[in-house]
Amino acid sequence: MGNRLSLGLCLDRSQELYFDSMHSQIVPLCLGGLQRQAALMTENRDHLADDAIVDSDSGWDLSVIRQLLELGQTLAVDVECWLNQLS
Instruction: Average pLDDT across each block of 10 residues of the chain; the chain has 87 residues. List them in order.
Output: 71 92 92 82 58 50 89 93 89
Structure-derived torsion over alpha carbons of residues 10, 78, 51, 59, reported in degrees to the nearest 10? -60
- Has residue 73 been placed in a domain? yes
Burial class of residue 63 in the structure, from the number of CB atoms within 10 Å of its CB (0-12 exposed, 13-18 middle, 19+ buried): middle
Residue 3 pLDDT: 66
- Has residue 32 been placed in a domain? yes
Domain that holds residue 79: 22-86
Residue 2 pLDDT: 63
Structural domain count of the chain: 1
Residue 59 pLDDT: 53
Residue 1 pLDDT: 60
- Has residue 11 been placed in a domain? no
- Has residue 2 been placed in a domain? no
